[in-house]
A and B are shown apart, each in its own frame.
Chain A
Amino acid sequence: MEAELTKPHPKAGQTAVWQARLIMLVMINIAQLWILAATVDAALARHYSVLLPLVVASGVCLLITLSIIKWWRPTSRQKTSTGYVRGHDR
């Protein structure tokens, strides 16, 4: 009984990871919003040389966003990335 109480909760720490993911995604969205504004500004000013770098930067932001959503998930405290179950032999 006492061992169960001291055992870390399986979801402990996942909230922090979720919050971190959300904060990163919001920051990337804000950066992309700025890039879009800069793209509009450059297009209207006919600064064509900066258009491609801006679009590439926005694409990199999108890739980072997708990677955060798809792959940077909170890991389980019970299992390692290789499938090993922690504390199974106890």
Chain B
Amino acid sequence: MADENDVRAATAPYQAEFPYERDEEAQVTRREFCNFLGLTSAALFAGAAGFATKAALDARASESLPAAHIEGAETLAPNSSLNFHYPGERDSAILVRTADGAYHAYGQKCTHLSCPVYYSRDHRRLECPCHEGAFDAGTGNVLYGPPPRALDTIEVEVREGQVWATGRTAARPGNGG
């Protein structure tokens, strides 16, 4: 082994009386474990602070978003859905055309733990498969399950036969929850 040169000499009396194996020497000492726990604590604090900061910045972000055409929405059959991205390429959204022909669009992230919701044709509602939450397809409000608030709503307009997304509104806590 290349690191055999780094093996400490057994100088202390107890090391001579109770020699330990090479593998045991590689075990973590209490001091190292303490330091590791300290680093873990710092990482957990950084995670909490970072998540809170991002949430606060998102809350202050401007809501003036450009309108975007939703490709393929015109041919969407009633009681079906279509996935698209709005306002950015990373912001997944879902367009639902209810049985009465009306368009409704929502952010696809479940408000519980951000799993993607999907439209259930059989139940005519948006469902989250992760923790069995469900949202009303017409309003985005919570029907049941752990989500604490309604889905983010995307404003939809029909302009000359084309469906456009024109804005996005985040529901407040308790709104439909």
Contact = CB atoms under 8 A, between A and B. Distances in A.
A51 B56 CA distance: 9
Contact of A51 (B37, B41, B52, B149): B52
Interface string B152-177: 00000000000000000011110000
A32 B2 CA distance: 40
A33 B48 CA distance: 9
Given A45-B173, A58-B45, A59-B45, 20 more contacts: A22-B30, A25-B38, A25-B41, A35-B44, A35-B48, A39-B51, A43-B52, A43-B54, A43-B55, A44-B111, A44-B113, A44-B114, A46-B55, A46-B171, A47-B173, A48-B55, A51-B56, A58-B44, A65-B37, A68-B34
B173 A46 contact: yes
B42 interface: yes
A59 B52 CA distance: 13
Interface in A29-62: 29, 32-33, 35-36, 39-48, 51-52, 54-55, 58-59, 61-62
Contacts of A35: 44, 48
B18 interface: no
Sort A-B residue pairs by CB-CB distance and give the 7 closest, nearest first: A43-B55, A45-B148, A32-B44, A65-B41, A25-B37, A51-B52, A58-B48
B173 A39 contact: no
B145 interface: no
B33 interface: yes
B40 interface: yes
Chain B interface main SS type: helix
Max chain A Cβ within 10 angstroms of own Cβ: one of B40, B49, B52, B172 = B52
B149 A69 contact: no
Given A46-B55, A46-B173, A62-B41, A39 B48 contact: yes
A45 B111 contact: yes
B131 to A, nearest CB: 12
Nearest to B29: A18
A85 interface: no
* Of A26, A35, A55, A59, most B-chain CB atoms within 10 Å: A55
Given A39-B51, A45-B149, A51-B56, A33 B44 contact: yes
A50 to B, nearest CB: 9
Contacts of A47: 148, 173
Contacts of A29: 37, 40-41, 44
Contacts of A46: 55, 59, 149, 170-173
B51 A43 contact: yes
